[in-house]
Structure 1
């Protein structure tokens, strides 16, 4: 990998991590574990459409690991990793059928897949199906958060390309 490309990936990872750490400071208004905006995923959505799959995986896995380390919640690492794997796999497949101008839609699907991955990990860890009760709430919040982060990514892409934002 060339130095310029590695530097770009490092910068994107750093920006995503900074956004993640800032978001940790925002109190969660919902009493449901796992519900959050996921603003760092703005970087992930962008990267899915502009970098190779291996590079995007590198960005996401480094951010997830360092985010757990910086956030002081290493026990949440398994949930974040499971969600990230589901989300990333789905979004990498979706980029072949969803054009970049509809990147927000890819973000919604990615958020929903992330929640499904988290619930899957929770069922495996707790060995109980009781956590499935959270799934409807997580799916709704995932759709809303995914739409928000996707629209943010869409606006940033338009701005970077020099197109007017209507």
Structure 2
């Protein structure tokens, strides 16, 4: 990998980690535990459309590991990893059918997949089927958060292009 490309990936990873850490400091405006905007996913959505699959996976993996360490919640790594893996795979497949002008739509699908992965991990870990009742709330909040992060990524694309020139 060329040093310039590695530096770009490092900057994107650092920005996503900083956004993640800042978001941890913001009180949760939703009464549902675990529901958050997921602002660091703005970088992930952007990276899915502008970098190779393994490069985007590296950004997400490093953010997950360092975010759980810096955030002090290593136990949540299981849920985050399951959600992020399913989300990343889904969005990488979706980029073949959803163009960059509709990146926000890919983000909504990614959020749904992320919540689905988290729910699957929670069901496997806790073996409590009652958690399924929580799933519709996660889907609705995930769609709203995915729409917001996707629109943010959509707005960043032209600005990042200007910076790169």
TM-score (norm 1): 0.95
Rounded Cα–Cα distance in structure 1 between residues aligned with 2:55 and 2:47? 8
| Gapped regions of structure 1 (runs ≥ 5) | none
Match of 2:4 in 1: 4
- After superposition, the CA RMSD in angstroms is 0.9
- Determine whether 1:64 maps to 2:64: yes
Alpha-carbon shift at residue 21 of structure 1 (Å): 0.2
CA distance in structure 2 between the partners assigned to 1:136 and 1:73 by the alignment? 25
* Residues paired across the two proteins, number: 162
- Which residue number in structure 2 is paired with residue 86 of structure 1? 86
Equivalent residue, structure 2, for 1:110: 110
Q: Distance in 1 between matches of 2:160 and 2:44?
A: 16
Q: Structure 2 matches for 1:2-81, cutoff 5 A?
A: 2-81=2-81
- SS of the aligned residue for 1:145 comes to helix
Distance 1:160 1:121 in 2: 35
Deviations 1:17-36 (A, max 9, x none): 00000000111122322210
Segments of 5+ residues of structure 2 without an aligned counterpart are: none
